[in-house]
Structures are given as structure tokens and as C-alpha cells.
Amino acid sequence: MPHLSSSDFDLVLASSSPRRMEILNQLGVRYQAVSPMIDESLRYGESGEEYVRRLALDKASALAMHELSPPILGADTAIVCRGEVFGKPQDFEQFKEMLEALSGSKHVVLSAVAVNNGKSSSVLVCETSVSFREITNQEINYYWRTGEPRDKAGGYAIQGKGAIFIKHISGSYSGVVGLPIFETSQLMKNFNIPFMGLKTEIYND
């Protein structure tokens, strides 16, 4: 693990996701990104919300050291369609099954964000409803060849080419991307993590 000095940044992002980094940049957070080694397997009988909560907390806890280190932010996103939890597709066949299930139907995107400051932790979950249009086999094959679906929950990226499949969303766009801004900013306020270039006292007045 790299040396985590709070003089250099105010937060450690437990992820190597470019999308999550872009959102923290948008929020004006001084952070370092470090990706922990976490088993992301779904446990037997685990619900979608339990799954993303556990992984977000596990990622934050894996890098948390002590209260003098910067707080750690972990996040995870999963899709629930007809009661089935979709993570990242392992191969084309799994991706195809996911897109065929999502095609012409509504699903829920669950994004959890957690913060661990070495002595306590907290997690919030964002839920967004997404409706897809019908997707053809030709589109499924083409989309896989772009390479975009391979590291995305549910096999699509709302901020990328996958946006062409979406008819409607109800909830948080940033949550579907992978880091819900509202919940993230709430946790940063609660843990006194500066963002938007402002000191934490301003948020705590």
C-alpha cells in the first residue's frame, strides 16, 4: 500500500474507476486513487442492496489504517432486474444474457458509497430506475465489440455508447455512472472532508 499522507490530499478513493475520479474532480476533492483487492462475488441469498453495501464498506475498510490517515471512500454499483443481481459480465455469453434481460424492460441501479476514517464508517445507497428500449441481437454483438461493457455493472455505460438503449431514468444519473453525487457529498460533510474548494466549517454551520 502506498504511503497515505493527509498533507497531500483529503480523501483516498478505493477505486481505479475513471468515472468515479471524474466525479470527485467535479466535486473539487483533493484525493488519491488506490484500488484494493476485493472479492466481488455475490454471496448466496444476498440482495442487491446488501451486496453493494458490503462491497462499498469492504473497499473502504481494506485501505483504512488509523484515524490519522485520510478517510477512505469506497463505492460499488450493481443492477437488479426481475430480482436478479447483475455485476460486471465475465464473458460475452453472460453479457448477452444481461442485455437480453434488460431489453425492453425496467431495472434498478443500486450504487453504494461508504467512508471509513479509521475509527468509524458509514454507507449510503442510491437507487435509480432505468428503462431500456428493445435491443436487437445485432446491437448486442456490436456493443460488445466496442469493449465498453466489460467492466460495467449490467454490461452497459450510461455515460458512453450504452446511452442509446435508454428510454428513461428516474433518480440519480451520477448513481448510474457509479458514484452518486448527493450521497457522496453527504458523507463528505459528515466526515468533515473538504470539497468544492470550501472548508468543512462552512458546511457544518
Q: Catalytic positions, please?
A: 76
Domains belonging to the chain, first-starting first, are 11-197 (3.90.950.10)
- For residue 203, name the pLDDT band (cuts at 50, 70, 90): very low
What does the pLDDT average to over 153-177? 96
> What's the pLDDT score for residue 60?
94
Least Cα distance to 121 among 113, 130, 131, 133 occurs for: 113
> What's the pLDDT score for residue 7?
59
What Å distances lie between residue 189 and 114, 151, 184, 192, CA to CA?
Answer: 13, 30, 9, 5
List of E strands, the chain? 11-13, 31-33, 72-81, 84-86, 106-116, 121-132, 166-170
- pLDDT, one tens digit per residue, over 69-80 is 789 999 999 999
Q: Is the pLDDT of residue 191 over 70?
A: yes
- For residue 63, name the pLDDT band (cuts at 50, 70, 90): confident
The cell 499522507 sits on which residue? 5
Cβ–Cβ contacts within 10 Å for residue 65, how many? 13
> What's the pLDDT score for residue 202?
42
More confident residue, 111 or 202: 111
What does the pLDDT average to over 46-59? 96
What does the mean pLDDT of the chain come to? 90
Question: What cell does 75 get?
Answer: 463505492
CA distance 159 to 167: 14
- pLDDT, one tens digit per residue, over 96-137 is 999 999 999 999 999 999 999 988 999 999 999 999 999 999
CA distance 164 to 53: 29
